[in-house]
Structure 1
Amino acid sequence: MSDLLALVGRLLLASLMLAGTVQKISDPTGAGALLALANLPAGLLWPAGIFTTIAGVGIALGLYTRPLALAAAAYCIVTSCFHILMDDPWQMTIAFKNWTIAGGYLMLAAHGPGRFALHPTA
């Protein structure tokens, strides 16, 4: 049962990364606006989109799961900084959600992808 739960958890966490990719490609204005608030170039959306694609696919398939999960946790913590807008409760909720998701990625890094993975030991 734990391998099945690991698979479902991996797929759910991967879906978040892949949904982020779709959002950045289909409507980059929202993420671009958050980057602009931090005085960062909108061009950073492209490396972020590439990372979320690689992390999402790798985690879903169970390839290099532990290092990708660590990188995804760091990504969630870093990107949460863009959502720390004290006057906007919705953005603060997103920041807190990112910390919580980082915890899920850290659990995945600690315990691995489970048996139902293309590379179950990584």
Structure 2
Amino acid sequence: MNDVLLLLARLLIALLFVGGAVQKAVSPDDAGALLAGFGLPVALVWGALVYNALAGVALVAGWAVRPVALSLAVYCGVTSVFHFLPDDPWQISIFVKNWAIAGGCLALSVAGAGRFAWATQ
């Protein structure tokens, strides 16, 4: 049962990051506005899109789950800064969710892919 739950965890977390990549592709201006608000280049959206997509696919495939999940945990922590806008309850909700997702990614980095991996770990 643990392997089934690890697969489910990988798929659910991957869905979030692949969905984030799609969202950035469809509407890059939304993410770009957050970056610009911090004085960062809007072009960073495209690097984040590629990273989100590749990391999500790696989790689905079960490829290099430990290092990918660890890097995703760091990514969530770093990107949470962009959502720490105390006057906006929606952004604070995203801030807290980023840290919760980081926790799930840390757990995956400890547990690994489990038995149901389509790629070599």
Partner deviation per Cα, 1:75-102 (whole Å, 9 max, x = no partner): 1111100000111111011000000000
Q: Which amino acid aligns with 2:74?
A: A
- Encode CA deviations 1:28-84: one digit per residue, 9 max, x unaligned: 121111001111111000111110111000011100000000011111111100000
CA distance in 2, matches of 1:118, 1:77: 28
Equivalent position amino acid for 1:88 in 2: D
1:5-24 alignment runs, 5 A limit: 5-24=5-24
Partner AA of 2:117 in structure 1: A
Counterpart CA distance in 2 for 1:89 and 1:69 is: 28
- For residues 23-102 of structure 1, the aligned pairs below 5 Å read 23-102=23-102
CA distance in 1, matches of 2:28, 2:119: 33
Counterpart-to-counterpart distance in 1, 2:37 and 2:87: 14
Task: Tell me how many residue pairs correspond in the alignment.
Answer: 121
**After the TM superposition, which segments of 4 or more aligned residues of structure 1 sit over 3 Å from their partners?**
none
- Following superposition, the deviation at residue 119 of structure 1 comes to 4.3
Q: Report which stretch shifted further, 110-119 or 2-11.
A: 110-119
Tell me, in whole angstroms, the C-alpha distance in 1 between the residues paired with 2:88 and 2:11: 30
Q: Deviation of residue 118 (structure 1)?
A: 2.6
2:57 maps to amino acid: V
Residue ranges of structure 1 left out of the alignment (5+ in a row): none
TM-score, length-scaled by structure 2: 0.97
Give the aligned residue type for 1:57. V
What TM-score, normalized to structure 1?
0.96
User: Could you tell me how far 1:114 is from its partner in structure 2?
Assistant: 0.7
